[in-house]
């Protein structure tokens, strides 16, 4: 039986990486006596995965995990057991059995929505963003592979931005491409904006929260849960 879980990751847990989060879930499931299934073969591994890794230092309001169990359980019971055993700053809010034939969450994800708090240092961030978005291309440097070797490469991130706006209090609302094939890390846009404002030293003073992950159905963006709409 396969289930999809919606959960939040906040507080100091923003400093644990993807693999540590995976191990945390494995320990919690064991303590909660939720019968996680394992793959067959010489080196069995737990049938547990996340929709899309959350960047280190970011919080997640609605993250998604999928798991396969050895036997069927009530969704409410799964939620209750998880939350009774989760460490502080992890909380599960939804659980649904995955309908037959549904693609894996990591294959469904196509977009993400972020809320980003920019430092209040007397900069008109909204005007700076408008200037940046008016450019034909928004080029950033990132570590990538070229000719099979890791090196800094130039990337135009403008096609990856679906919408972006900054309110008067310096809060950025960003909807961007997110997935296994194409993905915009929000800090690339934020740090490019800081460079545009002449304050590159402000990099990493922002706060980033991923609010939602989306799938596309009949041309509409829908959250990964609930399944029924």
Judgement on whether residues 29 and 81 belong to the same structural domain of the protein: yes
What pLDDT score does 170 carry? 93
In a domain, 7, yes or no: yes
- Is 224 within the bounds of a domain? no
Q: What pLDDT is attached to residue 142?
A: 85
Looking at the structure, do residues 129 and 207 belong to the same domain, yes or no? yes
Give me the pLDDT at residue 153, please.
Answer: 86
Which residue segment(s) compose the domain that 173 sits in? 110-219
Note the pLDDT of residue 166.
Answer: 98
- Co-location of 95 and 147 in the same domain: no
Q: Has residue 142 been placed in a domain?
A: yes
Q: Are residues 101 and 161 in the same domain?
A: no
C-alpha 62/C-alpha 94 separation (Å) is 10
Give the pLDDT of residue 145. 74
What pLDDT score was predicted for residue 41?
A: 84
Q: How many domains does the chain have?
A: 2
Residue in 213, 211, 209, 212 with CA at minimum distance from that of residue 11? 209
The verdict on residue 229 lying in a domain is no
Tell me the pTM: 0.93
* pLDDT confidence of residue 229: 62
Q: Where are the beta strands (DSSP E) in the chain?
A: 2-9, 48-50, 59-68, 90-97, 111-117, 139-146, 149-156, 161-166, 171-177, 207-217, 220-223
pLDDT < 50 positions in the chain: none
Task: Give the span between the Cα atoms of 65 and 186, in whole angstroms.
Answer: 21
């Amino acid at each position: 039986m396969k289930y999809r879980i919606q959960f939040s990751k906040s507080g100091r847990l923003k400093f644990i990486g993807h693999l540590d989060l995976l191990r945390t879930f494995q320990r919690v499931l064991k303590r909660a006596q939720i019968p996680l299934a394992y793959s067959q073969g010489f080196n069995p591994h737990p049938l547990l995965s996340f929709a899309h890794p959350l960047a280190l230092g970011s919080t997640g309001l609605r993250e998604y995990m999928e798991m396969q169990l050895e036997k069927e359980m009530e969704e409410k019971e799964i939620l209750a057991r998880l939350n009774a055993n989760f460490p502080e700053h992890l909380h599960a809010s939804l659980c649904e059995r995955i309908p037959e034939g549904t693609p894996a969450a990591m294959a469904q994800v196509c977009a993400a929505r972020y809320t980003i708090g920019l430092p209040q240092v007397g900069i008109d961030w909204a005007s700076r963003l408008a200037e940046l978005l008016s450019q034909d291309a928004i080029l950033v440097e990132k570590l990538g592979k070229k000719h099979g070797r890791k090196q800094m490469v130039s990337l135009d991130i403008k096609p990856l931005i679906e919408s972006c706006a900054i309110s008067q209090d310096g809060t950025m609302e960003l909807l961007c491409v997110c997935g296994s094939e194409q993905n915009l890390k929000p800090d690339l846009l934020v740090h490019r904006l800081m460079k545009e404002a002449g304050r590159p030293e402000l990099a990493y003073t922002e706060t980033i929260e991923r609010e939602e992950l989306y799938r596309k159905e009949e041309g509409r963006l829908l959250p990964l849960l609930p399944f029924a709409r």
